[in-house]
């Protein structure tokens, strides 16, 4: 497994749990030291125990020696990052190609090179070209096995996925049965649970991952726009979302109004799909609009807070609950808190913030002047306004009277609709949330 980040570490550990011998190769020295010392460099519930058990059982190892890991491997997975390229939004595949070249040099016999990273359509074929050029003598196959796990629920998602997608080269003379057999064997425990396994071509598998993430991002953006419309026409977005979600064709999930989607995948994958579409001469206009609407939404949220403070937050103290892009993760990549706090900071507010897992990851990406607090009540202390940015469960049960005792002002902006407007209002607060004008 090349790359020991979210995807590499979780999938490598879960494959080991299935009974496979796994060697994870990680080039970042700090990450590698942590892993070797049994410290998990990411926040993922249950992962520390699973890693420890599989290391103990001798099925899971960590190192930086690519050659040692690749030698004798039936399959080599590439799980390195594919961030957005500056400027054009295309996925940066340079880490993938660099890893593939190293794999090709290190391989000593037939192997399947599998991309687990999310990569643009055509990457698999380019990988095959690189391997052939680097090692004309090597027998190999290429496969695409996109990963659908969600941070915060990653182990469960890997062990009980809705489906597994395995793409192999549909045009390879002689076929790729050998590769399919190896991958089928790896995922055998899931076969036993009757998980649908979709065997398809390389390009199809690559496009499936972008289509899935872009669809979900579009669904989030849809309900956000409906939420804004609810505010204008006096409707309640929670009731709209619940009622449309009960239609099996629509489904309940991803219909919660929010300050916009963030994280390590949706923003970069939607941008990448629009680039793929444009380059192929078949623009995906719904997703182009989704990207634009979402970018604007994060800015609108900052303005909404300022407007609630009668247009001026200069010199005010703003308490912030939640910083990560969603609960149960420490991931701050493209979190809504970044543009929102930036705007408040530039407008002269003093920010007191708390997040249950993201305090360390937040520091480098948030304004320097932010004060980091020990808990939610500490963040509320002396605040003129309190803002909810991430819906961590522990915030839901905060008693409004306790918040009132800590705060100087009486204004709450709930950008995740975690509280019941009636209860908050009865405690003496002025309260705004998303798409619930009838509830305030
Ligand atoms: P990450 O940045 O957390 O991890 C990537 C790791 O690879 C880093 O630790 C880096 O040091 C290491 N690395 C880079 N080049 C290397 C090399 N040549 N040899 C060894 N190690 C190397 O990224 P991630 O979140 O795990 O995402 C990886 C891929 O999986 C991306 O394409 C992403 O889009 C995709 N993905 C991510 C998620 C998610 O929830 N994070 C879910 C599904 C798919």
Question: Is the pLDDT score of 440 beyond 80?
Answer: no
Question: Is the pLDDT score of 214 beyond 80?
Answer: yes
The answer to whether 357 and 43 have CB atoms below 8 angstroms apart is yes
Residues 371 and 302 grouped into a single domain = yes
Residues 227 and 158 grouped into a single domain = no
What's the gap in Å between 82 CA and the centre of ligand 1? 7
The answer to whether 117 and 79 have CB atoms below 8 angstroms apart is yes
Atom of ligand 1 nearest to the CA of 265: 34
In a domain? residue 228? yes
- Tens of pLDDT, residues 16-46: 999 999 999 999 999 999 999 999 999 899 9
In a domain? residue 60? yes
CATH number of the domain where residue 268 is located: 1.10.1040.10
Task: Provide the mean pLDDT of the chain.
Answer: 96
Residues 260 and 328 grouped into a single domain = no
Residues 181 and 325 grouped into a single domain = no
Question: Is the pLDDT score of 330 beyond 80?
Answer: yes
Neighbours of 127 (CB within 10 A): 28
What pLDDT was estimated at residue 89? 86
Q: How confident is the model at residue 192 (pLDDT cuts 50, 70, 90)?
A: confident
Atom of ligand 1 nearest to the CA of 102: 18
Query: Considering 14, 230, 265, 373, which one is annotated as catalytic?
Result: 265
User: Could you give the angle at the alpha carbon of 400 between the alpha carbons of 398 and 401, nearest 5°?
Assistant: 115
Residue where a domain terminates, one of 262, 292, 322: 292
Angle between helices 285-308 and 202-233 (to 10 degrees): 40
Residue where a domain terminates, one of 267, 292, 317: 292
Q: Average pLDDT, stretch 179-195?
A: 94
What pLDDT was estimated at residue 438? 74
Residues 251 and 381 grouped into a single domain = no
Write a three-state SS string for 69-134.
HHCCCCEEEECCCCCECCCCCCECCHHHHHHHHHHHHHCCCCEEEEECCCCCCCHHHHHHHHHHHH
Residues 49 and 125 grouped into a single domain = yes
Question: Is the pLDDT score of 191 beyond 90?
Answer: no
Q: How confident is the model at residue 87 (pLDDT cuts 50, 70, 90)?
A: confident
Residues 118 and 48 grouped into a single domain = yes
What are the φ/ψ torsions at residue 414 (nearest 5 degrees)? Answer: -105, 100
Q: Domain residues for 109? A: 6-195
Query: Annotated binding site, which residues?
Result: 31, 82, 118, 148-151, 209, 254-258, 262, 268, 326, 333
What's the gap in Å between 42 CA and the centre of ligand 1? 12
Please spell the DSSP secondary structure of 171-218, one letter per residue.
T-TT--HHHHHHHHHHTHHHHHTT--EEEEEHHHHHHHHHHHHHHHHH
What pLDDT was estimated at residue 88? 86
Domain count, the chain: 3
Q: Whose CA is nearest to atom 41 of ligand 1?
A: 6
As for ligand 1, residues whose beta carbon falls within 6 Å of it are: 2-8, 25-28, 31, 79-82, 95, 98-99, 117-118, 147, 149, 151, 264-265
Respond yes or no: is residue 265 known to be catalytic.
yes
The CA-based dihedral angle spanning residues 231, 234, 239, 243, taken in that order and rounded to the nearest 10 degrees: -100
Residues 387 and 288 grouped into a single domain = no
Residues 129 and 20 grouped into a single domain = yes
In a domain? residue 285? yes
Residues 25 and 95 grouped into a single domain = yes
231 vs 210: CA distance, rounded Å: 32
Residue where a domain terminates, one of 170, 195, 220: 195
365 vs 382: CA distance, rounded Å: 25
The ipTM estimated for the assembled molecules is 0.98
236 vs 73: CA distance, rounded Å: 55
What pLDDT was estimated at residue 6? 94
Q: Whose CA is nearest to atom 13 of ligand 1?
A: 3
In a domain? residue 144? yes
Q: Is 228 exposed, middle or buried (0-12, 13-18, 19+ CB in 10 A)?
A: middle
First to last CA, the chain: 52
In a domain? residue 204? no
What's the gap in Å between 302 CA and the centre of ligand 1? 31
Query: Annotated binding site for substrate, which residues?
Result: 148-151, 209, 254-258, 262, 326
- Tens of pLDDT, residues 116-153: 999 999 999 999 999 999 999 999 999 999 999 998 99
Tell me how far CA of residue 253 lies from CA of 223, 294, 328, in angstroms: 11, 18, 17
Residues 235 and 185 grouped into a single domain = no
In a domain? residue 161? yes
Question: Is the pLDDT score of 299 beyond 80?
Answer: yes
What's the gap in Å between 118 CA and the centre of ligand 1? 9
What pLDDT was estimated at residue 439? 66
Q: Average pLDDT, stretch 375-391?
A: 98
Handedness of CA 42, 43, 45, 48 (dihedral sign): positive
User: 3-class DSSP state for residue 221?
Assistant: helix
CATH number of the domain where residue 114 is located: 3.40.50.720
Copy the structure tokens of residue 81. Answer: 């990052």
Residues 282 and 145 grouped into a single domain = no
In a domain? residue 201? no
DSSP state, residue 2: B
- Tens of pLDDT, residues 220-263: 999 999 999 999 999 999 999 999 999 999 999 999 999 999 99
In a domain? residue 205? no
């Amino acid at each position: 497994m090349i790359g020991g980040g979210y995807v590499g570490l979780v999938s490598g550990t879960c494959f080991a749990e299935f009974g496979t011998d796994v060697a994870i190769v990680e080039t970042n020295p700090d990450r590698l030291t942590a892993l070797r010392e049994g410290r998990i460099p990411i926040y993922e519930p249950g992962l520390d125990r699973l890693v420890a058990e599989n290391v103990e059982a001798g099925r899971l190892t960590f190192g930086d020696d690519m050659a040692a890991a690749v030698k004798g491997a039936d399959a080599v997975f590439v799980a390195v990052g594919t961030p957005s390229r500056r400027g054009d939004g295309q996925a940066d595949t340079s880490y993938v190609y660099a890893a593939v070249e190293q794999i090709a040099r290190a391989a000593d016999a037939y192997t399947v090179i599998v991309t687990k990273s999310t990569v643009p359509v055509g990457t698999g074929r380019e990988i095959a070209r690189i391997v052939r050029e680097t090692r004309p003598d090597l027998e190999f196959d290429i496969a695409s096995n996109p990963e659908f796990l969600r941070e915060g629920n990653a182990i469960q998602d890997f062990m009980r996925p809705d489906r597994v997608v395995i793409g192999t080269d549909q045009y390879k003379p002689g076929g790729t049965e050998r590769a399919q057999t190896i991958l089928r064997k790896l995922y055998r425990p899931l076969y036993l649970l009757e998980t649908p396994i979709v065997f398809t071509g390389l390009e199809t598998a690559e496009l499936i991952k972008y289509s899935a993430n872009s669809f979900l991002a579009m669904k989030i953006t849809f309900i956000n726009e409906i939420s804004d419309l609810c505010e204008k026409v006096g409707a309640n977005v929670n009731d709209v979302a619940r009622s449309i979600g009960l239609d099996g064709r629509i489904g309940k999930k991803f219909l919660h109004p929010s300050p916009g989607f963030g994280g390590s995948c949706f923003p970069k994958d939607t941008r990448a799909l629009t680039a793929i579409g444009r380059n192929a001469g078949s623009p995906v206009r719904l997703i182009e609009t989704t990207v634009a609407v979402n970018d604007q939404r994060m800015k609108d949220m900052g303005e909404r807070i300022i407007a609630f403070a009668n247009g001026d937050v200069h010199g005010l103290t703003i308490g912030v609950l939640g910083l990560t892009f969603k609960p149960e993760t420490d991931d701050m990549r493209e979190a809504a808190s970044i543009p929102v706090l930036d705007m408040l900071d530039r407008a002269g507010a003093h920010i007191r913030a708390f997040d249950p897992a993201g305090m360390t990851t937040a520091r480098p990406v948030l304004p320097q002047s932010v004060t980091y607090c020990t808990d939610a009540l500490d963040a509320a202390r002396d605040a003129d306004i309190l803002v909810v940015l991430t819906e961590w469960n522990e915030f839901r049960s905060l008693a409004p009277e306790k918040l009132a005792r800590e705060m100087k002002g009486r204004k709450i902006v709930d950008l995740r609709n975690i509280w019941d407007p009636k209860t908050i209002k009865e405690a003496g607060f002025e309260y705004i949330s998303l798409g619930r004008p009838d509830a305030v």
